Amino acid sequence: MVVVPGGALQGSHDHYDSTGKWGRLSPGSVQLMTAGGGIVHGGAPTPEMQRGGWIDGYQIWLALPVSARCWLAQARCRLAR
């Protein structure tokens, strides 16, 4: 079981996962994902970034206690305004 907080510092990218969530992370956006029993996720540069630009972001992976393994897999985003 892991918790993955992450965010965008520069540029933007699209995020998607197996829970059906999709979002566009831009500078100032933050995402929190809990793996629970399992989650598949990915991301790709936005079309604008694919034409040229730099993406800079971060992820921090934290292992939670075994007791947290019964949590549901989920992802939440706080988008920049």
Query: What is the per-residue pLDDT for 4?
Result: 57
**CATH fit for domain 2-54+63-78, picks 2.60.40.10, 1.20.140.10, 1.20.120.1810, 2.60.120.10:** 2.60.120.10
Query: What is the per-residue pLDDT for 3?
Result: 56
Query: What is the per-residue pLDDT for 5?
Result: 60
Q: Quick check: 8 and 55 in contact, CB under 8 A? A: yes
Q: How do the domains of the chain map onto residue ranges?
A: 2-54+63-78
Q: Quick check: 7 and 77 in contact, CB under 8 A? A: no
Query: What is the per-residue pLDDT for 1?
Result: 44
* Residues in the chain where the model's pLDDT stays below 50: 1
Tracing tokens 């993955």 back to the chain, one arrives at: 4
